[in-house]
């Protein structure tokens, strides 16, 4: 999702506030990569149960680790787009007005997170739908790509390959 200023304006949601925000986003020089920070990890952990359903102990942390690792392997242009999305979600005003979540992510309640996910999933703005889909894909892959998730879905590698890999 290229959160260009034009597209943010197209969403027509926030008028002056959006302008200010977009101005700030545009000021940030294009970083060479995603360069994950602590807040990114917290955000993923906060979203994980809402996106994936209840997880076993340590599951959300594992998802966060896997997602950040996966982002690191994406082309730099895609990393930059994801950086913009995460920065937008970290911004308290955007979180409140675009995501509809009042509390900071780690403190946000289950209901607030679920409402946010549904809001973006079915948004009439394709920009927000694409942001939801990016999170859906990253978190889904981060959990179900890990062997820890496989017993619950009754999945295992073919018996024939035991001892060969």
Partner 1 sequence: MSKLPDPWQAGLAAGWQVTDASRLAQDLQLECDVAIVGTGAGGGMAAELLAQAGLRVVMLEEGALHSSGSFRLNEAEAYPQLYQESANRQTADKGITILQGRTVGGSTTVNWTSSFRTPAGTLGWWRRAHGLQNMSEESMQPWFERAEARLGIAPWETDPNANNAVLARGCEALGLSHGRMRRNVRGCWNLGYCGTGCATNAKQSMLVTTIPAALQAGARLLTRVRVQRLLLAGDRVKGVLAEALQADGVRASGRRVTVKARQVVLSAGAIGTPAILLRSRAPDPYRQLGKRTFLHPVVLSGALFPQRIEGYYGAPQSVYSDHFMHVGAIDGPLGYKLEVPPIHPLIMAATLPGNGAVHQRLMRQMPHLNVTLALLRDGFHPESVGGQVRLRDDGSPLLDYPLGAVEWEAARRALLSMAELQFAAGARAVLPVHEDAGLARSWREARQMIAALPMQIMRTRVVSAHVMGGAAMAADERRGVVDGDGRHWQLRNLTVIDGSLFPTSIGANPQLSVYGFALRQAEALRQRMA
Give the footprint of partner 1 on this chain (CB under 8 A). Answer: 1, 32-33, 49-54, 66, 70, 72-78, 114, 117, 121-122, 126, 129-130, 132-134, 136-137, 140-141, 143-146, 149-150, 152-155, 157-158, 160-161, 163-165
Smallest distance from the beta carbon of 74 to partner 1, in angstroms? 6
Q: Which is nearer to partner 1, 38 or 77 (CB)?
A: 77
Q: Which is nearer to partner 1, 16 or 158 (CB)?
A: 158
Smallest distance from the beta carbon of 132 to partner 1, in angstroms? 8
127 and 133 in contact (C-beta within 8 Å)? no
Distance CA 11, CA 98 (A): 10
Smallest distance from the beta carbon of 127 to partner 1, in angstroms? 9
Distances (CA, A) of 65 to 5, 8, 14, 90, 140: 30, 30, 33, 18, 13
Q: Which is nearer to partner 1, 14 or 141 (CB)?
A: 141
45 and 64 in contact (C-beta within 8 Å)? yes
Smallest distance from the beta carbon of 16 to partner 1, in angstroms? 27
Distance CA 141, CA 60 (A): 13
Residue of 50, 44, 63 whose CA lies nearest to 142: 63
CB contact set of 32 (below 8 Å; sequence gap of 6+):
76
Q: Which is nearer to partner 1, 16 or 110 (CB)?
A: 110
DSSP 32: S
Smallest distance from the beta carbon of 144 to partner 1, in angstroms? 4
Q: Which two tokens stand for residue 41?
A: 């990890």
Q: Which is nearer to partner 1, 16 or 27 (CB)?
A: 27
CB contact set of 109 (below 8 Å; sequence gap of 6+):
103
């Amino acid at each position: 999702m290229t959160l260009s200023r034009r597209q943010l304006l197209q969403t027509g949601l926030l008028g002056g506030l959006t302008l200010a925000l977009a101005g700030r986003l545009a000021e940030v020089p294009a970083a060479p990569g995603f360069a994950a920070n602590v807040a990114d990890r917290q955000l993923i952990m906060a979203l994980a149960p809402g996106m994936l359903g209840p997880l076993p102990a340590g599951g959300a942390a594992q998802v966060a680790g896997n997602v950040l690792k996966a982002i690191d392997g994406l082309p730099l242009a895609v990393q930059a787009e994801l950086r913009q999305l995460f920065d937008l979600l970290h911004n308290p005003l955007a979180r409140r007005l675009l995501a509809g979540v009042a509390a900071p992510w780690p403190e946000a309640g289950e209901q607030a997170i679920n409402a946010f996910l549904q809001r973006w999933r079915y948004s009439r703005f394709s920009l927000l739908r694409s942001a939801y889909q990016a999170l859906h894909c990253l978190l889904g892959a981060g959990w179900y790509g890990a062997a820890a998730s496989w017993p619950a879905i009754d999945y295992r590698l073919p018996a024939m390959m035991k001892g060969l890999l």
